[in-house]
Chain A
Amino acid sequence: MEINATLLGQAITFAILVLFTMKFVWPPLNNMMEERAKKIADGLAAAEKGKQELTAAKSKIEEELKHVQLRATEIMSNAERRSDQIISEAKERAVKECEKIHSDAKAQLEQEIMRAKEQLRMRVGALVVKGAEQILKVEIDQGRHQALLASIKAEL
């Protein structure tokens, strides 16, 4: 056990080793390990976030689905109502149309009848006049017997 100058040499060696480690070994290693730790932490956080987002999306989808279903039934009932309405309207219109056609036909018919009657009357009038002429063998003066003829016509 003797202390000698080896002590100084050893101390210098020690100092060099420490300084070298401080300068060239520890900083890159430390950076690397910190980077790795950060990466892992980030990954875990991202996974957690993804999980949360997934549950949020799931609940949102469920809500949306419920909403859509509600809307579908609403649309369906609306459509039903509307179709009923359309059908009833169409029925009503058809009935009206039918009636109108009916009445038109009736009126036309009546007109036709009237016209036929008129023609008949005229014809009968003329026949009557002719008959009378032949009976009387006299020409009836259209001008003079106008009023008479008219009254006969009206009576027919």
Chain B
Amino acid sequence: MSSTTEYIVHHLTHNNVIVSDQSSGFWSIHIDTFSMSLLLGFIYLFIFTLLARRAKVENPGKLQLFFELVVEMVSQQVKDVYHGKKSKMIVPLSLTIFCWIFLMNLMDLLPVDLINFTNHLAGNPEAHWRVVPSADVNATFAMSISVLFLIIGYSIKAKGLGGWGKELISAPFGIYALPLNILFQLLELVTKPISLSLRLFGNMYAGELVFILIALLPWHTQWLLGVPWAIFHILIITLQAFIFMVLTIVYLSMAVEKH
């Protein structure tokens, strides 16, 4: 039993590098999350920059059509959901969120022991390497907190600093319920990034955990659960990326609308 626990814990431990020996514990970096997401981000940029370079108006190739489909879907979502003034940032932002999260989530479909196997081959079986960046709260919170700043920025840009401040103290109950208004507004602001990031994190973490549990079964029965779960997970990873993107657009749209 202890070996099972060890196995799971080993799989769920980050490759943590402490960058400062302060006692707070904040100044350390999950090298696995950081490098994996960076790599995936570059893959995303490489593909789409190539697409943008080579995109032809006439006779697009199949590959171009596929990526155009993704871009078209994202820009259609923005068109449908975002009602604010035209923004140069919102479509690229949504596209980045969708593709990056999708790629990060996609790492969940790698066999859970693949990395450990290569570590083993490399002669370092004890090394930790969690391959799914979106199953790390740091990655999801980094994105959702960035979105929070964008929400505030969009609000201020649309309504002015005064307008936003006024809304913060006077909506939804009028100026006489000032403390209550501030409480509500702050709650509204804070819950957005938390729900965004925890939803994604929870789904990916749970998915990873289930894969690890399946990997504990005898090898000849693993496919019985592993295949359905993997197929189901293809849906989940796409859906989670999509939800994160759409909610970001919704929040930004709400940010520029008057209450």
Contact = CB atoms under 8 A, between A and B. Distances in A.
Interface of A: 1-11, 13-18, 20-22, 24-26, 28-30, 32-33, 35-36, 39
Contact residues on B (Cβ < 8 Å of other chain), bracket: 35 or more
Given A4-B25, A6-B138, A10-B143, A32 B55 contact: yes
Nearest to B52: A28
B10 to A, nearest CB: 17
B26 interface: yes
B37 interface: yes
Interface string B133-160: 1001111011101100000000000000
Interface of A is mostly: helix
A55 to B, nearest CB: 30
B146 A11 contact: yes
A32 B68 CA distance: 10
A26 B95 contact: yes
Contacts of B138: 3-4, 6-7, 10
The 5 closest A-B pairs by CB, nearest first: A10-B142, A6-B138, A21-B92, A22-B92, A11-B142
A6 B27 contact: no
B200 to A, nearest CB: 13
A25 B34 contact: no
Contacts, number: 119
A20 to B, nearest CB: 6
Contact of B92 (A18, A33, A36, A39): A18
A54 B220 CA distance: 72
Query: Interface centre among A5, A24, A25, by most B CB within 10 Å?
Result: A25
Contacts of B51: 25, 29
A32 B25 contact: no
A121 B48 CA distance: 138
B44 A5 contact: no
Given A6-B30, A10-B139, A32-B57, 17 more contacts: A1-B137, A2-B25, A2-B137, A3-B137, A4-B26, A4-B30, A4-B138, A6-B28, A7-B138, A16-B41, A18-B92, A25-B51, A26-B92, A29-B52, A29-B71, A30-B91, A36-B57
Interface string B19-52: 1000001111110011001100100110011011
Contacts of A14: 41, 96, 100, 142-143, 146
Contact of B141 (A3, A13, A15, A29): A3
B88 interface: yes
Contact of A18 (B38, B55, B96): B96
Nearest to A20: B45
B19 A5 contact: yes
Contact of B145 (A1, A11, A33): A11
B72 interface: yes
Contacts of B63: none
Nearest to A6: B138
Contact of B96 (A2, A5, A7, A17): A17
Given A6-B138, A33-B68, A13 B29 contact: no
B53 interface: yes
Contacts of B88: 22
B28 to A, nearest CB: 5
A2 B145 CA distance: 16
A21 B136 contact: no
Nearest to A10: B142
A36 B60 CA distance: 11
B34 A15 contact: no
Query: Interface centre among A7, A15, A30, by most B CB within 10 Å?
Result: A7
B89 interface: yes
